Amino acid sequence: MPGADLGLPRPTDIVVTGLGAVTPFGWGVEPLWDGVRCGVSAVGPFTRFDASRHRTHLAAEVPVEDGGARSAHHLSLADRFAVASAREAVAGAALDLDRCRERTGVFFGSSAGGMLEGEWFFEAHIHRGARHARRGLVASQQFNGPGDAVARAVSACGQVETISSACASAAMAIGNALRALRRGDVDVALAGGSDALCQLTYAGFNALRSVDEAPSRPFRKDRLGLSLGEGAGVLVLESAAHARRRGAKPIAFLAGEASTCDAHHMTAPQSDGSGASDAIRLALLDAGVAPGDVNFVNAHGTGTPLNDASEAAALTAVFGERVRTIPVTSTKALIGHLLGSAGAVEAVVTVLGLLHGEVHPMPDNGVRDPEIGLDLVLGAPRALPVAACAISTSLAFGGANAVLVFTRRATA
């Protein structure tokens, strides 16, 4: 992987040493980066289930795994996404888990877990009878299934936990991993999230009229809603001291995190973005980073009228007039909204942006919303300075806000 010198990390710094992903662009980090930097949406017709009875008919679906060699019949699709991502991240970090498995934790986020397989079981039970409903389909139905599957796959014997807090789940899980590493609870953390498309979430968001009939257009004047997607992302996190002892080269720093709650409404955000702006300020404070040091924002950017307006208000409250010159992008414009795993894949993309020195673009479609007032990266990548700093925001239903701060150099 390319990248400039990160400077001399302090032993207590938390560094990213490996990345893994499964997304609508393919199985692996390389197809993800190639896809997002092209700025062409992966949202389109899909086959995961019959969408003909639903209000909309588009989503971003993960392609069939080449050969399916790593698939297992007892794992849900979300489990398989998670395990493949974790294995890629571990391999990229050159991590020998035999030396540290007792001190390796798994921190995961998910909204639906194996809900898709639960739907298959229920449909078979109703239409074909109990004898034809394979009970193994519900073995990983619970939302902690993907994280547990990762722990089993790599024999991680440290703490294993799953957060399910809507669209902020994976970002909060990564935040928990950061805190666990700082406390010394674990030496290594596999942090991320995984979710698969399923009819329950697809129907639910359609019932809320939150899904656009066309691919989503975050922060555009004609935006009408989100697009749903699926996939997983995993980061290998460890203290700089641990990475140095085993000769690992850091990719980036996870410098800070924070989370807040609007405590306002089941689905609608605070219109002034106050809960989100508090989370951004707290995350920057945790990272020891000033607002003026932030070089780009990977925004939550769902494409819904309320969410985008609220997030723009939050960014303006934190960055003031400078918000008009900070590059802002949204990975969801390309791969859809991955629900509980969105924050993980977006964290992976944010780190890749720092690593490659550029911000990925959104599709250049739709008229910019003049009331939003953000510097949107559209059509082509935008170059970054060598020692860049970025934030990734996750602003979920229920007013759950989570923010992660990544840097290319150690912060003061």
Structure tokens at 330: 């949204």
Q: What is the torsional sign of CA 320, 325, 327, 330?
A: positive
- Give 383's strand partners: 358
| Cβ proximity of 149 and 82 under 8 Å | yes
Structure tokens at 389: 């700093």
| Gap between the Cα atoms of 41 and 60, Å rounded | 9
The reply to whether 73 belongs to the active site is no
Catalytic residue among 100, 167, 198, 389: 167
| Cβ proximity of 134 and 76 under 8 Å | no
Catalytic residue among 100, 198, 242, 300: 300
The reply to whether 389 belongs to the active site is no
SS3 annotation, the chain: CCCCCCCCCCCCCEEEEEEEEEECCEECHHHHHHHHHHCCCCCECCCCCCCCCCCCCCEECCCCCCCCCCCCCCCCHHHHHHHHHHHHHHHHCCCCHHHCHHHEEEEEECCCCCHHHHHHHHHHHHHHCHHHCCHHHHCCCCCCHHHHHHHHHHCCCCCEEEECECECHHHHHHHHHHHHHHHCCCCEEEEEEEECCCHHHHHHHHHCCCECCCCCCCCECCCCCECEECEEEEEEEEEHHHHHHCCCCCCEEEEEEEEEECCCCCCCCCCCCHHHHHHHHHHHHHHCCCHHHCCEEECCCCCCHHHHHHHHHHHHHHHHHHHHHCEEECCHHHHCECHHHHHHHHHHHHHHHHHHCEECCECCCCCECCCCCCEECECCCEECCCCCEEEEEEECHHHEEEEEEEECCCCC
Amino acid code (one letter) for 9: P
| Cβ proximity of 286 and 403 under 8 Å | no
Catalytic residue among 100, 198, 242, 337: 337
In Å, what is the CA distance from 123 to each residue of 7, 75, 142, 187, 204?
A: 56, 19, 18, 44, 18
- Active centre residues (catalytic): 167, 300, 337
